[in-house]
Amino acid sequence: MKYEYSLDFARAQDENDPLKAFREEFHLPKVNGKTAIYFCGNSLGPQPKQTRAYLETQLKRWEEMAVDGHFHGDAPWYHARHKSKPHLAEIVGAKPEEVVAMNNLSSNLHFLMVSFYRPTAQRFKIISEAGAFPSDLYALESQVKLHGLDPEKTIIELSPRTGEYTLRTEDILEAINQHGDELALIMMGGLQYYTGQVFDMQAITAAGHAVGAQVGFDLAHAVGNVPLQLHDWDVDFATWCTYKYLNSGPGNISGIFVHERHAMNPELPRLAGWWGYDEAQRFQMTKGFKPMYGADGWQLSNTNILALAAHEASLEIFHRAGIERLRTKSLFLTGYLEFLIKEISQDKGTLEIITPSNPHERGCQLSLFIHKGGRALFDRLYEKGVVGDWRNPNVIRVAPIPLYNSFEDVYQFAKILEETLAEF
C-alpha cells in the first residue's frame, strides 16, 4: 500500500475497513473531556461494552443461587473454564486441552518453571533476553536460587550487538548452540516489551530442543497481538496476561499453554492443587494427586468466576473478529504509523523507531527512542489527548490496535506529534 499523509487517505482506509464496527464495542477513555487517541492497549486494553453484561449475569447467579451456582443452572461454575478454552486455543494456535485460563502471569510462570526447569549438575543454565520484563527476571532469579544456584552463573542474558536495539535471530541460535551441553531452559518473552520485537519462537524452540533444553515463553505482549502457533511450533509451555491486548480488565486472569506431549508425563513434577485433580473424582477427597489431562492439570484453585466472565466478554469479540483478520489490519495500521513518524521526524535527531522495520518481526507497538524532550515530550502529548506509554529511560511506546483504533487515529496522532516536536 502507498501511504499518504492526509486526512482524506486515513478516512478512506477506515471506510473500507472490514473491522471498523468493532471500535463501537469498546469504551474509549477521555482526556480533557475528549475521546483520547488511545495507543496504550499494550499496557491496559479498554473495556468492551459487553463486559458489564457478562459480569452482571454472574452476579445475578450468585445473588439467586449462591452455592448452588457451582452445579446447577444453565452454566454451572464447576465447569466454567471450558467455555473459554476454544477461543483461547484459536488465539494462541493450540488444542483446547493445551490451554486454560487461571491465576495471573507471574504465578503461572513460577508454577510452570517448577515443572520445566529441572537443573542437573551438568545441565542447569537458562537463556533469556537482556532487559526482559522485570517480573520475568525476578522469577528466573528466584527459581535459580531455589535450586541453590547462583543467578550470575546460571542465567545467560542475550544483548543486541553494539549499536543495535534488537536481537538478531542468528545470535540467539548461536548462543543456544554454544551453551547447549549446559542448557536446561530457554525462557524469554515472545515479544520484547521495550523494543516491540517479535522473536522467532519457532526457530528458537527447534534450536532449544535440538540441544536438549525445554523452551517456554512469556506472551504478555504477544497474545492477541500477533498470530501464534504454539502447538505446531512445539513450544513446551507458555503463559500470558489478559489485560493488555485481550482487554479483560486490570490485573485480570492469566492463561497457560502446556504442549499435549506433557499432558500426562509422570516424570514431570508440578505443584498440585485440588482444582487440577481429575474432576470426575475430585469430590472423593482422597490422597494421591491424579491430574486432569492437559493444561487443566496445572490448576490449583477453583476458577475466579467474575474474572473469567470479564475475560470471556473480550474473547467472544476476538472470536468474531478473527486473529488473522486482525493481523492483516494491524500490518497496515502499524505500517501507516511508521510511515507518518518517519515523514515527521526525517533526520532531525529528535526520535527514532527502535522496533524492527520488518513487519513480521513486530506487532502493533512501535517504540520511539526519544533523543530530545524526554518525558516532557510524552507529557505534552498526553495533554493533547494522546494516551501512550512511557518506559524509562527514554522510550515512548505507541500501539495502534486493530480492534478499536482507526487510520484516522493514526493520522491525528501524527499531526499532534508533528506540532509537539516543534516545541522541543
The whole-angstrom separation of Cα 210 and Cα 229 is: 19
Strand duo 37-38 + 47-48: pairing: unpaired
Instruction: Give the pLDDT confidence score for residue 24 in this predicted structure.
Output: 98
**60 belongs to a structural domain:** no
Residue 379 shares a structural domain with residue 274: no
Instruction: Give the pLDDT confidence score for residue 236 in this predicted structure.
Output: 98
HEC string for the chain: CCCCCCHHHHHHHHHCCCCHHHHHHEECCEECCEECEECECCCCCCEECCHHHHHHHHHHHHHHHHHHHHCCCCCCHHHCHHHHHHHHHHHHCCCHHHEEEECCHHHHHHHHHHHHCCCCCCCCEEEEECCCCHHHHHHHHHHHHHCCCCHHHHEEEECCCCCCCCCCHHHHHHHHHHCHHHEEEEEEECECCCCCEECCHHHHHHHHHHCCCEEEEECCCCCCCCCCCHHHHCCCEEEECCCCCCCCCCCCCEEEEECHHHCCCCCCCCCCCHHHECCCCHHHCCCCCCECCHHHHHCCCCCCHHHHHHHHHHHHHHHHHCHHHHHHHHHHHHHHHHHHHHHHHCCCCCEEECCCCCHHHECCCEEEEECCCHHHHHHHHHHCCEECEEECCCEEEEECCCCCCCHHHHHHHHHHHHHHHCCC
Residue 38 shares a structural domain with residue 98: no
**150 belongs to a structural domain:** yes
Residue 243 shares a structural domain with residue 101: yes
Cis peptide before 160 (omega within 30 of 0): no
Residue numbers in the chain where pLDDT is lower than 70? none
Please count the CA atoms within 13 angstroms of the CA of 400 that sit on its side-chain side: 22
Residue 16 shares a structural domain with residue 124: no
Please count the CA atoms within 13 angstroms of the CA of 229 that sit on its side-chain side: 6
**309 belongs to a structural domain:** no
Residue 236 shares a structural domain with residue 378: no
Straight-line distance from the first to the last Cα atom of the chain, in angstroms, rounded to the nearest whole number: 32
C-alpha cell at 396: 515512548
In sequence order, which residues have a C-beta less than 8 Å from that of residue 94 and are 6 or more positions away? 88, 230, 231, 257
Residue 87 shares a structural domain with residue 165: yes
Residue 236 shares a structural domain with residue 144: yes
Measuring CA to CA, how many Å separate 60 from each of 53, 56, 409? Answer: 10, 6, 38
Instruction: Give the pLDDT confidence score for residue 345 in this predicted structure.
Output: 87
Domains of the chain: total: 2
Bridge partners (DSSP) of residue 399 are: 40
Burial readout 214-230 (b: 16 or more C-beta within 10 A, e: otherwise): bbbbbbbbbbbbbebeb
In sequence order, which residues have a C-beta less than 8 Å from that of residue 327 and are 6 or more positions away? 226, 227, 402
Instruction: Give the pLDDT confidence score for residue 424 in this predicted structure.
Output: 85
Residue 372 shares a structural domain with residue 298: no
Instruction: Give the pLDDT confidence score for residue 37 in this predicted structure.
Output: 98
Which CATH number does the domain housing residue 98 bear? 3.40.640.10
Q: Are 23 and 14 in contact (CB under 8 A)?
A: no
Nearest to 162 by CA among 128, 130, 200, 187: 130
Residue 175 shares a structural domain with residue 271: yes
Instruction: Give the pLDDT confidence score for residue 372 in this predicted structure.
Output: 86
Residue-number span of the structural domain to which 165 is assigned: 81-302
**312 belongs to a structural domain:** no
Instruction: Give the pLDDT confidence score for residue 299 in this predicted structure.
Output: 96
Q: What are phi and psi of 310, to 5 degrees?
A: -65, -40
The whole-angstrom separation of Cα 329 and Cα 227 is: 13
Instruction: Give the pLDDT confidence score for residue 349 in this predicted structure.
Output: 81
The whole-angstrom separation of Cα 72 and Cα 43 is: 37
Measuring CA to CA, how many Å separate 56 from each of 52, 53, 102, 104, 279? Answer: 6, 5, 21, 23, 27
Which CATH number does the domain housing residue 407 bear? 3.90.1150.10
**232 belongs to a structural domain:** yes
Bridge partners (DSSP) of residue 369 are: 352, 395
* Residue pLDDT, tens place only, 82-113: 999 999 999 999 999 999 999 999 999 999 99
Instruction: Give the pLDDT confidence score for residue 327 in this predicted structure.
Output: 98
Q: Are 275 and 299 in contact (CB under 8 A)?
A: yes
* Residue pLDDT, tens place only, 57-67: 999 999 999 99
Residue 368 shares a structural domain with residue 298: no
